[in-house]
Amino acid sequence: MKLNLIQKNYQNYLDKELTVKGWIVTIRCQKELCFIKLNDGSIPQGIQLIYNIEDDNKDYIKSLHTG
């Protein structure tokens, strides 16, 4: 799903699971949450994803890099 569509109609996507594709601009992980700024080129500022880290995906999330 394109980020510009999410941004324009974000109310329609609250509390729903979405699949987005793009590149990671920044990533900052804490104990239980990761904050990921993602961009796909459809909007200049991108969007921020808040990802809940769980035991089964912790290694994968910590392996992500920018770009």
pLDDT of residue 36: 93
Hey, where are the domains in the chain?
A: 3-62
pLDDT of residue 55: 75
Task: Express each pLDDT in 4-57 by its tens digit.
Answer: 888 888 899 888 888 889 999 999 988 889 999 999 998 888 889 888 888 778
pLDDT of residue 51: 86
3-state secondary structure of 63: coil
Residues 66 and 39 sit within 8 Å (Cβ to Cβ): no
Residue spans of beta strands (DSSP E) within 6-67? 23-29, 33-39, 47-52
Hey, what are 32's tokens? 């239980």
Residues 25 and 38 sit within 8 Å (Cβ to Cβ): yes
pTM: 0.77
Task: Report strand pairing: 33-39 vs 47-52.
Answer: antiparallel
